[in-house]
Amino acid sequence: MASPPTVSAPAPPASGGAPCAARGRLLVDGKLAAGAVVFAGATIREVITGDAIPRERLPARVFDAALVTPGLIDLQVNGGFGYDVAAGAPALRGLALRLPATGVTSFLPTLVSGAPAHYAAAGDALVQARGAGTAGALPLGLHFEGPFIAVARAGAHGRDAIAAATPALFDDACARGLLRLVTLAPERAGALPLIARLVARGVTVSLGHTDATFEELGAGIDAGATMVTHLFNAMSPFGHRAPGAAGAALTDGRVVAGLIADGVHVHPAALRLARAAKGPSGLALVTDAVAAAGEGAGRYRLAGVDVVSDGTAVRLAADGSTLAGSALTLDQAVRNYARFTGAPIEEALAAATEIPARLLGPAAATKGRLAVGADADLVLWSETIEVQRTFVGGVVAYERGG
């Protein structure tokens, strides 16, 4: 027997745009339930759940799908589709236009360690890209992945920039309201007061590229960090006598662990371990994508450095072995996570929507959820979890076959 629909209180009519609805199984609070989302303009007006929704309750235009979710949010994007975010505003605009094909409606352009001028230029590029009003995924702000990190865990980051980094490097982007996320190493001198200062200014702090002990990572969490960057990668590993940064991340419920679910950065067994330790609300899927994402094998650039992709893994061209981001897209990360761990698809989807939005706090208060008054950033999926349509602010930004 069909269950009766339940209807949320309607929001005031949104200006611009005739009402539309997306109908299917809805992702609401981490669970799937049959229903429909009604939106007008850029805002969700109603969320109706139930198997039998009278047709007269819905607007004239209805989009049907197997699943309807909030838009995906990628917290760590260095590039994709041939674009490197360090290349300036045109690259950011090009990337923003392509990301909706992967279900991404919001993202953080991410910068690897560089000189101060590198960050100032990125801030200017973000302002220009936003000012152009380009349709596509919305860059919510910048992610500085470094340079206040550990030389010992530099990975593909430039060691000179890391050694020269000071806490003052973040001041300009903070003052301009452009900085949303910082990855840093809590064991560096001055890191703990820097964490507290960044958090006080509304910036989310993630601990990563760190050689911290178990205790040092805990001190960073005590200071206000709420995330760990690409768990297991570029951090002191877990040992049964010295649990390291990885052990602290796995056992402290105050932090969400970012995961690159490409099968290269993290073995499927390690993904299952992380899920068992952190639970369904303790993991956020990220791509750490570079320009190679969405493209074929070949040679690409990451902030001026040559990298080589085999279509799955991306490595520094100089040595052919050091991982330098990924060629992963976030919709593929969702599918991989569910397949590698056996998690229900709603858990994988929440790890790319609701959980990243929660980490960003007020900066993403209207993102990552299907709720009255939230942004009409929606993804419509097939039964095989392929993106069929993506709406950004109520406007179709991608349509499969269109």
> Rounded to 5 degrees, what angle do the CA atoms 52, 70, 256 make?
125
Give the Å distances, CA to CA, from 23 to 50, 100, 295. Answer: 11, 19, 32
Question: How far out from the chain centre does Cα 51 lie?
Answer: 32
User: 292: helix, coil or strand?
Assistant: coil
Q: Which residues are catalytic?
A: 288
Report the chain's C-alpha Rg in angstroms. 21
Three-state DSSP at 198 gives helix
CA 278 vs CA 44, 228, 351, 372: distances in Å: 31, 12, 12, 30
Cα end-to-end span (Å), the chain: 37
CB atoms within 10 A of CB 94: 19
- The amino acid at residue 199 is V
The helix (run of H) or strand (run of E) holding residue 204 is strand 204-207
Q: Residue 77 in 3-state DSSP? A: strand
- The angle at the Cα of 43, spanning 37 to 45, to the nearest 5 degrees, equals 45
Of 200, 89, 188, 181, residue with least CA distance to 134: 89
DSSP β-ladder status, 6-7 and 43-49 = antiparallel
Q: Catalogue the E-assigned strands of 43-146.
A: 43-49, 61-70, 72-77, 79-80, 83-84, 104-111, 138-139, 142-145
Contacts of 337 (CB under 8 A, 6+ apart): 259, 261, 271, 285, 343, 348, 351
Q: Taking CA 354 as the corner, what is the angle to CA 13 and CA 39, rounded to the nearest 5 degrees?
A: 20
